[in-house]
Amino acid sequence: TTDADKLATTCNPTYPAPDLLGNIQYLHYEFSKYVDLVYVYDGIATYLKAATRDDRREKRLAAGKDWIELRSRAIRGGFCSFTDEEIEKATAACMKMSKPTAYDHANILRWMKAEGIECVGSLEEADLQMIKHKKDGVVDGIISEDGDEFALGAENLYCKMNRKPNGEYRFKVLNRSAFFDPSNPFKSKLNRFPDQVIDAALLLGNDYCPRIEGNGAVKVLLGSLERLPRLPSGATPTQKESRKRKKKNRVREDDSILDRLASLSSEEERKQWLIANGTHGMCL
């Protein structure tokens, strides 16, 4: 399952909106050689994203005004002709649009339905529908650039797609079991406290509730670095080099917010702590 809209800008190389339908078609034919795809469309934006989406939409429409007007004239049907100047303006306006329009989405959906490609809509964000598909056993993995899926329980998340020189596509894969495995060399507090992934998502903010003020990734997930004693005045080059090595290899203290939450004995205690430690805590 994938949020196709994000393929327009988040992948490498980027796929600009004017060619979105063609790129989606190409990607579908390529991926269909190996997997059966299910496409999930976003529904109504959450209240946190509604204002952002409205602002983005206004900017896109303003940037692509000449393109949209020319396209509308062609869609209305009947005989119509365009001057070279109109086509040049429309082309330039089309390239300025950094995201797909409703026309682009409608064309993709129309093509998928005509081809019998499986696609579903979501009431809100597509990630919720994707997770439901995974839990119901409809799909084996999720292709998305949205990290919320991991907090919601995704087992295999494929992201950061890029295309190799030989034409093959490559993803970074976030496997839940491998991430939380004790042998994972890339340690983080989430490895130690897998039950607190949702707590971390609430603290740092997501598509469904705002970030609790004053909390960043270092404070929530990592904790502070161990303190080193100051060098004495007149320190020798050997002492300076030794301190430099120690500074590079400092470990994190057990004072992150996840450490503090883990020390609380019940879910209710954690909830009350979260509410008490942020001006937007009541969003929980």
pLDDT of residue 278: 53
The answer, yes or no, to whether residue 147 has pLDDT greater than 80, is: no
Which strands, in side-by-side order, build the sheet including 169-175?
Answer: 142-143, 156-163, 169-175
Confidence of residue 117 (pLDDT cuts 50, 70, 90): very high
pLDDT of residue 113: 92
pTM over cut 0.75: no
- Residue 274 identity (one-letter amino acid): L
Q: Which residues contact 1 (CB under 8 A, 6 or more apart)?
A: 37, 38, 39, 40, 126, 129, 130, 133, 134, 139, 142, 143, 144
Find out whether 263 and 189 touch, Cβ atoms under 8 Å.
no
CB atoms within 10 A of CB 17: 23
Find out whether 108 and 21 touch, Cβ atoms under 8 Å.
yes
Largest CA distance in the chain: 87
Find out whether 204 and 211 touch, Cβ atoms under 8 Å.
yes
CA torsion, points 126, 25, 90, 102, in degrees to nearest 10? Answer: -30
3-class secondary-structure state, position 241: helix
Find out whether 274 and 202 touch, Cβ atoms under 8 Å.
yes
Query: Helices 65-75 and 47-63: crossing angle, nearest 10°?
Result: 80
> H or E segment at 39?
strand 39-41
pLDDT of residue 116: 94
> H or E segment at 170?
strand 169-175
List pLDDT tens digits, range 223-269. 888 888 888 888 888 888 888 888 888 878 888 888 888 888 777 88
C-alpha 194/C-alpha 211 separation (Å) is 20
In this structure, the strands spanning 169-175 and 156-163 are antiparallel
pLDDT of residue 17: 47
